[in-house]
Amino acid sequence: MDYLEGLNPPQRQAVEQTEGPVMIIAGAGSGKTRVLTYRIAHLIYSKGVDAFNILSLTFTNKAAAEMKHRIEQVVGLEARNTWMGTFHSTFAKILRVEADRLGYPSNFTIYDTDDSKSLIRTIVKEKRLDDKVYKPNTVLARISGAKNRLISWQTYQNDPYIKADDETAMKPKIGEIYKTYQERLFKAGAMDFDDLLFNTNVLFRDHLDVLNKYQQRFKYVMVDEFQDTNLSQYLITKKLAAVHQNICVVGDDAQSIYAFRGADIQNILNFEKDYPDLFVVKLEQNYRSTKTIVEAANSIISKNKAQLKKNVWTQNENGDLIELIKAASDNEEGRLVASTIFEERNNKKLNNSDFAILYRTNSQSRAMEEALRKMNIPYKIVGGLSFYQRKEIKDLMAYMRFTVNPADEEAFKRVINYPKRGIGDTSVEKMMIAAYEHDIPLWEVVTNGSSFLAGRAANSVDDFATMIKSFKLEVERKDAFEAATSIAKQSGLLRELYEDKTIEGLNRYENVQELLNAIKEYVDNPENEDKSLGAFLQEIALLTDNDRDKDQSDAVTLMTIHSSKGLEFRQVFVVGMEEDLFPSQMMMQSREDLEEERRLFYVATTRAMEKLYLTYALSRYRFGRLLNCEQSRFLEEVDSTYVKVNKRMSSAIASSFRDYGSEGKSGFIGLKKPAMRTGTTAKIHTPSPDFKPSNTNNLQEGQKVEHPKFGFGDVMKIETEGANRKASIKFDNFGEKTLLLSFAKLRIL
The residues binding ligand ATP (CB under 6 A) are 6-8, 11, 26, 28-34, 252, 255, 287-288, 566, 568, 606
| Active-site entry in 60, 227, 255, 292 | 255
Is 379 or 569 the residue whose CB approaches ligand ATP more closely?
A: 569
Measured from the CB of residue 566, what is the shortest distance to Mg ion in angstroms?
4
Is 224 or 354 the residue whose CB approaches Mg ion more closely?
A: 224
What three-state secondary structure class fits 567? coil
Q: Is 266 a catalytic residue?
A: no
Is 313 or 712 the residue whose CB approaches ligand ATP more closely?
A: 313
Whose CB is nearest to Mg ion? Answer: 33
Binding region for ATP:
26-33
3-state secondary structure 656-671: HHHHHHHHHHCCCCCC
Measured from the CB of residue 224, what is the shortest distance to Mg ion in angstroms?
6
Report yes or no: 499 and 132 within 8 Å, Cβ to Cβ: yes
Is 222 or 506 the residue whose CB approaches ligand ATP more closely?
A: 222
Subset of residues 14 to 53 that bind Mg ion, contact rule: CB under 5 A: 32-33
Measured from the CB of residue 7, what is the shortest distance to ligand ATP in angstroms?
5
| Active-site entry in 194, 225, 330, 595 | 225
What are the phi and psi torsion angles at 584 (to 5°)?
-70, 140
Whose CB is nearest to ligand ATP? Answer: 31
Of residues 472, 490, 620, the one with CA closest to residue 532: 472
| Active-site entry in 18, 33, 82, 560 | 33
Contacts of 356 (CB under 8 A, 6+ apart): 556, 557, 558, 559, 564, 567, 569, 571, 572, 573, 607
Residues in binding contact with Mg ion, number by CB under 5 A? 3
CA angle 131, 134, 136 (to 5 degrees): 90
Measured from the CB of residue 200, what is the shortest distance to ligand ATP in angstroms?
25
Measured from the CB of residue 59, what is the shortest distance to ligand ATP in angstroms?
9
Q: Is 255 a catalytic residue?
A: yes
| Active-site entry in 142, 373, 607, 747 | 607
Is 224 or 578 the residue whose CB approaches Mg ion more closely?
A: 224
Give the binding range for Mg ion (CB under 5 A) out of 561-569, 582-590, 626-634, 731-739: 561-569
Integer-rounded Cα radius of gyration of the chain: 31
From the list Mg ion, ligand ATP, none, pick the one residue 29 interacts with, judged by a Cβ distance below 5 to 8 Å according to partner type. Answer: ligand ATP
From the list Mg ion, ligand ATP, none, pick the one residue 287 interacts with, judged by a Cβ distance below 5 to 8 Å according to partner type. Answer: ligand ATP
Is 32 or 620 the residue whose CB approaches Mg ion more closely?
A: 32
Of residues 181, 182, 180, 187, the one with CA closest to residue 105: 187
Decide: is 144 part of the binding site for Mg ion (CB under 5 A): no
d(CA 263, CA 375): 40
Measured from the CB of residue 628, what is the shortest distance to Mg ion in angstroms?
39
Measured from the CB of residue 603, what is the shortest distance to ligand ATP in angstroms?
8
Q: Is 700 a catalytic residue?
A: no
d(CA 23, CA 14): 9
What are the phi and psi torsion angles at 282 (to 5°)?
-110, 135
Report yes or no: 238 and 202 within 8 Å, Cβ to Cβ: no
From the list ligand ATP, Mg ion, none, pick the one residue 30 interacts with, judged by a Cβ distance below 5 to 8 Å according to partner type. Answer: ligand ATP
d(CA 182, CA 175): 11
Report yes or no: 378 and 555 within 8 Å, Cβ to Cβ: yes
Percent composition of the chain: helix, strand, coil (DSSP 3-state, to 5): 55, 15, 30
Query: Which of 289-298 are b and which e, b meaning 16 or more Cβ less than 10 Å from the residue's Cβ?
Result: bbbbbbbbbb
Is 224 or 369 the residue whose CB approaches Mg ion more closely?
A: 224
Question: 526: cis peptide before it, omega within 30°?
Answer: no
| Active-site entry in 192, 194, 195, 224 | 224
From the list Mg ion, ligand ATP, none, pick the one residue 584 interacts with, judged by a Cβ distance below 5 to 8 Å according to partner type. Answer: none
* Other Cβ atoms closer than 10 A to 645: 10
Of residues 152, 181, 175, the one with CA closest to residue 163: 175
What three-state secondary structure class fits 694? coil
Q: Is 33 a catalytic residue?
A: yes
| Active-site entry in 32, 142, 374, 598 | 32
Q: Is 224 a catalytic residue?
A: yes
| CA-CA-CA-CA dihedral for 407, 410, 413, 415, to nearest 10 | -80
Is 84 or 120 the residue whose CB approaches ligand ATP more closely?
A: 84
Task: Name which position in 21, 136, 505, 566 contacts Mg ion (CB under 5 A).
Answer: 566
Binding region:
26-33
From the list Mg ion, ligand ATP, none, pick the one residue 288 interacts with, judged by a Cβ distance below 5 to 8 Å according to partner type. Answer: ligand ATP
Report yes or no: 441 and 406 within 8 Å, Cβ to Cβ: yes
From the list ligand ATP, Mg ion, none, pick the one residue 241 interacts with, judged by a Cβ distance below 5 to 8 Å according to partner type. Answer: none
Amino acid at 108: F
Is 193 or 313 the residue whose CB approaches ligand ATP more closely?
A: 313
Q: Is 320 a catalytic residue?
A: no
Measured from the CB of residue 322, what is the shortest distance to ligand ATP in angstroms?
18
Contacts of 150 (CB under 8 A, 6+ apart): 198, 201, 231, 232, 235
Measured from the CB of residue 429, what is the shortest distance to Mg ion in angstroms?
51
Sign of the Cα pseudo-torsion (508, 510, 514, 516, in order): positive
Q: For binding to Mg ion (CB under 5 A), which residues are involved?
A: 32-33, 566
Residues belonging to the active site: 32-33, 224-225, 255, 607
